[in-house]
C-alpha cells in the first residue's frame, strides 16, 4: 500500500468514526427527550409497555460494540464521554428554556413547555446515571470477552455485554424516574418490559453487526481482533 493510499484509508477511518459517534449522540439525546412518553409496542409474540426513549436506545449499544470492535476501548470511551457532555448541554438548554418566560404569541406556552420538558431533568439525570454505568460496563465486558476468546465469537461478546449492561441501564433509569411515585411492585414490570425489549433488539442486531464489522475489517485489512489507530 502506497503512502497516499494509507493516508486515504486513515482519513476514511476518521470519517467513519465521526459518523458513528454522531449517530450515537443523536440517538442518546433523542432517547432522553422523548423518554417521558410511555407507549405500547406490539412485536407479535409480546406487547411491551416501554418508554418511547427505549425505541432508539438499542442503536447506542450497537454503535459502541462496533466502535469497540474496530477502534478499541479507548476511542469508544471517548464517544461515551462525549455523549455524557452532550446530555449536560441539553440539561442546561432545558433549564434556560424553562426560566425564560414565553411571549404572549408563542406557539408553545410556559405550561406546555414544562409539561413536556420540565420532567426531562429527572429523566436525563436518571438516564445519565444509567448511561454512564451501562455503557462503561458494556465496553468493559465486551473487551474482557474479546481478550478471553482471542477475538473470536463476536456474537457472544455483542450479546452478553449488551444484554447485561441494558439490564443495569433499565433498572437504574426506571428506579430514578419513579422512585417517589411508584412502588417496587409497580416498577418491576416496567423494568422487565424495558429490559426484554432491549434484549430482543440486542439479539437482533447481531444480524447487523456481523456484516458491518466484516465490511470494515475487509476494507481496512484488519486481522481478527485487530483495531484501527486514529491518533
List, in sequence order, every beta strand (DSSP E) within the chain.
38-42, 47-51
Predicted pLDDT of residue 4: 64
Is pLDDT at 116 greater than 80 in this prediction? no
Q: Range with the lowest mean pLDDT among 58-67, 93-102, 122-131, 206-215?
A: 122-131
Q: What is the rounded average pLDDT of the residues 120-141? A: 74
Average model confidence (pLDDT) for the chain? 82
Q: What is the rounded average pLDDT of the residues 17-39? A: 86
| DSSP 8-class letter at 50 | E
Is pLDDT at 2 greater than 70 in this prediction? no
CA 183 to chain CA centroid, Å, is: 27
Best CA proximity match to 15, nearest among 209, 214, 205, 220: 220
pLDDT bracket for residue 172 (50, 70, 90): confident
Which grid cell is 213? 464489522
Structural domains of the chain sorted by starting position, each given as residue range(s) with its CATH number in brackets: 3-220 (1.10.1760)
A 10 A CB-CB count for 39 gives: 13
Q: Range with the lowest mean pLDDT among 1-10, 62-71, 96-105, 116-125?
A: 116-125
pLDDT bracket for residue 103 (50, 70, 90): confident
Is pLDDT at 18 greater than 80 in this prediction? yes
Is pLDDT at 120 greater than 60 in this prediction? no
Is pLDDT at 212 greater than 80 in this prediction? yes
pTM over cut 0.95:
no
Percent of the chain with pLDDT over 70: 93
- The CA angle 19-21-24, to the nearest 5 degrees, is 110
d(CA 97, CA 92): 9
Residue-wise burial string across 196-213, b where 16 or more C-beta atoms lie within 10 A, e elsewhere: bbbbbbbeebbeebeebb
Amino acid at each position: 500500500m502506497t503512502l497516499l493510499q494509507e493516508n486515504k484509508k486513515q482519513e476514511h477511518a476518521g470519517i467513519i468514526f465521526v459518523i458513528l459517534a454522531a449517530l450515537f449522540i443523536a440517538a442518546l439525546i433523542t432517547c432522553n427527550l422523548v423518554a417521558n412518553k410511555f407507549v405500547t409496542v406490539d412485536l407479535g409474540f409480546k406487547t411491551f409497555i416501554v418508554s418511547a426513549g427505549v425505541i432508539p436506545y438499542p442503536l447506542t449499544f450497537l454503535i459502541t460494540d462496533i466502535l469497540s470492535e474496530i477502534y478499541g476501548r479507548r476511542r469508544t470511551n471517548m464517544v461515551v464521554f462525549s455523549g455524557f457532555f452532550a446530555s449536560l448541554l441539553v440539561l442546561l438548554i432545558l433549564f434556560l428554556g424553562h426560566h425564560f418566560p414565553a411571549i404572549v404569541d408563542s406557539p408553545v406556552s410556559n405550561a406546555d413547555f414544562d409539561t413536556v420538558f420540565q420532567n426531562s431533568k429527572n429523566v436525563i439525570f436518571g438516564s445519565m446515571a444509567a448511561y454512564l454505568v451501562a455503557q462503561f460496563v458494556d465496553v468493559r465486558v465486551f473487551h474482557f470477552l474479546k481478550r478471553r476468546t482471542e477475538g473470536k465469537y463476536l456474537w457472544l461478546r455483542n450479546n452478553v455485554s449488551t444484554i447485561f449492561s441494558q439490564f443495569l441501564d433499565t433498572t437504574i433509569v426506571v428506579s430514578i424516574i419513579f422512585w417517589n411515585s411508584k412502588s417496587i411492585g409497580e416498577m418491576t414490570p416496567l423494568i422487565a418490559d424495558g429490559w426484554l425489549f432491549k434484549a430482543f433488539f440486542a439479539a437482533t442486531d447481531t444480524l447487523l453487526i456481523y456484516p458491518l464489522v466484516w465490511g470494515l475489517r475487509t476494507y481496512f485489512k484488519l486481522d481478527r481482533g485487530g483495531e484501527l489507530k486514529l491518533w
